[in-house]
Structure 1
């Protein structure tokens, strides 16, 4: 690698570290179903510039293809690591042409775990658009003196304590919504109200039939509702979740409204807002592209489930687990990337999800394509080897690969996956997916084996 290209690469990596570090004070709690959770996120704002390409795209596609024979020999040997177990698949593609550079079980469906979030995120960007926002509103109720808190499916809506922990992007806050509501009510001469809440944007069960019963109690995810504060956490920074996020958010709003001088005369009541009701106040989330970055960087289960439901709404499907899965599939079909993908949720917590390594590597290539700038937030959001997100603590023994790999991790009991991209030593952008879903016990061994596979590709 020439000196000038190396300097440019290091500069981009350091800049990305700065951007990620700005959001370091985030909540955690992705996959508590395993021995140690993948960190999860919290919210971020639009004004801060985002690196939409990143270091691995510095010379993407310009160099020669790696020698297939050498690459195959080295990867085949690394795939034989017993830490990966007996069900392993791999695919490496040239990002520019889509040519398969290496495949082993590449067409076999494997449990993807959190690499499912790549699928959800691509669908969200392609369907909703990068600049869409999720709104939480307060509207007039059907009777005088009644207002309705209307959930818009923004799980990043934050309490004052949670908002204080975050730097980028700034989340919408319930305190701001309460303040705006109180100001509007007082301007209209109203100081006493009854407050109902509407979380009917979503339909169906709040937990997936394919999820393990322990996911919510363990804090891996909250019950999925359209009205949620701090991603349903009982306390900011903690993994524990409340049983009913909608009701808890309503209670917090009532308390904040009271602090702003509005008396609330009744207890919680779930009720649909009247059609065409006049809006009193609202707050909006960060744009979808930053929500996608967060979902990928810190493997945010709650946000990924919300994004899947918003895809369902945009695609005219029920905002449920089934509707979200169907809508995501429809969007991928339009992109020509649906083959080999079968999902039952948006987060990857479902052990029934199946994605082939080739399909996953192909989807990463689509997201990195110069022809699809609308999908480049996928690249920006992927963790960087040895530096950020769920890869920040990995590649310890592969320091030569630090900063050279962007990839999404996936972890469930018995499952470890890694899908992403890198620029080879010769300057060729390639995408990859390494997946194992029969992993024997042994904390960290399978992850280390996957990291070695990615490092082999980067050095090819």
Structure 2
């Protein structure tokens, strides 16, 4: 454990940590021994200052070199119609092209949604899945009630992962124990999936949801985000596949819970009576990872459903309603309240999956400016941004070794669209912001390569 501690400490000094990459830090106080995990390709830690200079916000950007980078990007294959900007940490533009042209941003939209959630929700809070015992004296009924945890696990609570932190096996075990203490061995099970109402998807989202692999309608609970792996195993936090997503995630979770409860010796029948869920009737619950960790998972995997989930939680918190339109309204409202420019902003979803969203580069840059600000509280979002060459959807997006560990970014991809936004620690000191959006690309792979080369060059400015 001493060795692990030293490695983590060293890695922090270069802007990323082994724990961040692999999510290896379980809670310190637990009655269970921490599970043993194995790793591959662990980055070699480097001493402080070996990769980047001090993050001095006042180190100027060489505008001529910045212009050359942008010119090279524009001359690259696949870049189609593009907008791009390079800015200082305070948002001052050093170089740009087509700054105020409205573009389709794809999943870089998620940085806007994450920003609004961070500035609205209590990010240390959790999403609980609860069991209530009602009508105990007449016809014992238990109500399974979800509060938005769409990363439930089928097994025991897993403190070492975000996905599966709350386990249905633990919930079933605790429920059975509570029932037996009351002398109850037979119950009816009702499922309360009313949290997000019926407005939980949109036609625009479904148009880009090929094979149901990109989005599943919001629900109060889901196991592994509804991923249907058919027995295949994957690291719950570090997978790279896109399996088909169930469209009935809440009922799937309830069926799993019912089976697990039966294994605990409880006879279970069906009920539709969800009444009587007062706080005093609760007999068991499990809790998700804190919202800041769920957000990190969402950003690293570019999880469309979780992005829409954060928007819905924000809309509900603000009292704007329980609908997809209210979610969009919430994002725009919070952006404006925090002086993020919204000129030209038109959202068709809060994840970027739905076609038709448009924005201008200054909107993306302003969010990044806030994230690297000294006092703006964006840690929960910046922690979840991918590190090129190391984590998330940008794991394979480092054009060379020099950029590894120096950038935190969010990728965006749709048909004909490639986008990247983030912040970079420069090799010779200083921090910069950047955003690039390519629309109407005829060669999306070439566009990705051009953007990656551009990003790698930013570290040398």
Fold agreement, TM-score > 0.5:
yes
In the TM superposition, residue 202 of structure 1 has moved relative to its aligned partner by 0.3
**C-alpha contact 1:45 1:290 (8 A) present in aligned 2:** no
SS at match of 1:355: coil
Taking the aligned partners of 2:120 and 2:210, their CA distance within structure 1 comes to: 28
Aligned residues: 422
Taking the aligned partners of 1:112 and 1:45, their CA distance within structure 2 comes to: 35
**C-alpha contact 1:329 1:338 (8 A) present in aligned 2:** no
Candidates 115, 118, 125, aligned match of 1:125 = 118
Deviations 1:175-216 (A, max 9, x none): 111111111111111111100101111024332221244616
In the TM superposition, residue 336 of structure 1 has moved relative to its aligned partner by 1.2
Corresponding residue for 2:184? 190
Taking the aligned partners of 1:11 and 1:240, their CA distance within structure 2 comes to: 36
Taking the aligned partners of 2:53 and 2:383, their CA distance within structure 1 comes to: 13
Taking the aligned partners of 1:166 and 1:45, their CA distance within structure 2 comes to: 5
Taking the aligned partners of 1:223 and 1:129, their CA distance within structure 2 comes to: 24
1:321 aligns with 2:315: no
Corresponding residue for 2:102? 109
Taking the aligned partners of 2:150 and 2:372, their CA distance within structure 1 comes to: 27
Relative to structure 1, is the Cα distance of residues 200 and 285 closer, same or farther in structure 2, using a 3 angstrom cutoff? Answer: same
In the TM superposition, residue 46 of structure 1 has moved relative to its aligned partner by 6.1
Candidates 135, 150, 153, aligned match of 1:155 = 150
Candidates 84, 88, 92, aligned match of 2:86 = 92
Taking the aligned partners of 2:153 and 2:59, their CA distance within structure 1 comes to: 48
Corresponding residue for 1:137? 130
Unmatched 5+ residue regions in structure 1? 1-7, 25-43, 49-53
SS at match of 2:148: coil
**C-alpha contact 1:22 1:167 (8 A) present in aligned 2:** no
In the TM superposition, residue 103 of structure 1 has moved relative to its aligned partner by 2.1
SS at match of 1:361: helix
Unmatched 5+ residue regions in structure 2? 1-7, 30-47, 235-241
SS at match of 1:394: coil
Taking the aligned partners of 1:9 and 1:232, their CA distance within structure 2 comes to: 36
Corresponding residue for 2:432? 430
TM-score by length of 1: 0.84
Candidates 137, 141, 152, aligned match of 1:146 = 141
Corresponding residue for 2:458? 457
Taking the aligned partners of 1:342 and 1:140, their CA distance within structure 2 comes to: 46
In the TM superposition, residue 254 of structure 1 has moved relative to its aligned partner by 0.5
Corresponding residue for 1:295? 298
Corresponding residue for 1:40? none
**C-alpha contact 1:297 1:388 (8 A) present in aligned 2:** yes
Corresponding residue for 2:380? 377
**C-alpha contact 1:215 1:221 (8 A) present in aligned 2:** yes
Relative to structure 1, is the Cα distance of residues 13 and 209 closer, same or farther in structure 2, using a 3 angstrom cutoff? Answer: farther
Corresponding residue for 1:364? 368
Corresponding residue for 2:56? 61
SS at match of 1:306: helix
SS at match of 1:383: coil
Deviates most, 57-66 or 304-313: 57-66
Deviations 1:8-56 (A, max 9, x none): 99843778352244349xxxxxxxxxxxxxxxxxxx96669xxxxx999
Candidates 174, 181, 186, aligned match of 2:175 = 181
Corresponding residue for 2:337? 334
